[in-house]
Amino acid sequence: MKLHANIIGQGEPLLILHGFLGMGDNWKTLGKQFAEEGYQVHLIDQRNHGRSPHSEEFSYAILAKDIKNYCREHNLNKVVLMGHSMGGKTAMKTAVSYPELIKDLVVVDIAPRYYEPHHQTILEGLTMLADAKLTSRQDADKKLAEFIDDWGVRQFLLKNLFRKDNVLKLRVNLPVLKSKIENVGAALEEGELFEGSALFINGGNSNYVRSNDRDLIRKYFPSSQLVTIKDAGHWIHAEKPEVFYQAVLRYLNR
């Protein structure tokens, strides 16, 4: 499977993996900033997301293999791999499975433990959009507001819409993501280990990484460091982009 990616800049490879129901373009602004620092930034759409191919298969072992194959296709070695939420899970699985590929690992607001499915309302809303055959983004936002109050979350989700035959359709492979929702929260397996350099960044207002997750993170990533960004929730890179950017740069330039 050939993953779609937007590649920005020249230099050391930095691969960025979006979260559940996202796409690489969500990171375009930060991607351009990292490119200005001398990185070749790869904003990757993971399978069943964005412009990457759809598939009946969806697990972190498969997503990690996708990243390995992407690196091989683009002749990339010793990459910086950064992922947010679901993308962070993929990044962790890639690191423990193919440690030779990774120079530095950055995991954003997610831990190696199991997370119960918690996107049901969002998936219901997107299913309604997929069935409604809408032609206006404004109408789509109104419909989605019946399920999701938060304007910012709706705008993030509406980025999945594209126009085909004058009807708005979704880029995400909704049927497979709904059927494989348990896999999205999967934990790393017992005994998996990445001894290389790793940075875990969490939002001070987020409940995705709890204080008792720190020992678990160090169990799988013994050389990791943890940074908490105050007054930030799960979407640290969107809520506190400059603070987040500087924290990652300090780590990479250490």
Q: Say whether 227 sits in a helix, a strand or coil.
A: strand
pTM, to two decimals: 0.96
129-135 long-range contacts, CB within 8 A, separation 24+: 129/161, 129/168, 129/170, 130/169, 130/170, 130/174, 133/167, 133/168, 134/167, 134/168, 135/166, 135/167, 135/168
Q: For residue 133, what pLDDT band results from cuts at 50, 70 and 90? A: confident
Q: Which of 52, 85, 206, 224 is catalytic?
A: 85
Please indicate whether residue 119 is annotated as part of the active site.
no
Give the 3-state secondary structure of residue 206.
Answer: coil
d(CA 95, CA 98): 5
Residues 170-211: tens digit of each pLDDT: 999 999 999 999 999 999 999 999 999 999 999 999 999 999
Q: Is the pLDDT of residue 47 over 90?
A: yes
Active-site hit among 18, 49, 234, 237: 234
Sign (positive or negative) of CA dihedral 245, 61, 126, 116: negative
Is residue 234 flagged as an active site residue? yes
Beta strands in the chain (DSSP E): 5-8, 12-17, 39-44, 79-84, 102-108, 161-164, 167-170, 197-203, 224-229
Q: With 90 as the cut, is the pLDDT of residue 165 above it?
A: no
Q: Which amino acid is at 254?
A: R
In three-state secondary structure terms, 115 is: coil
Cross-strand pairs, 198: 105, 224
The residue to which tokens 């920005």 are assigned:
8
Q: Are 64 and 3 in contact (CB under 8 A)?
A: no
Confidence band for 86, pLDDT divided at 50, 70 and 90: very high
Q: Average pLDDT of 108-128?
A: 95
Closest by CA to 91, choosing from 215, 217, 206, is 217
| Percent over 90 (pLDDT), the chain | 93
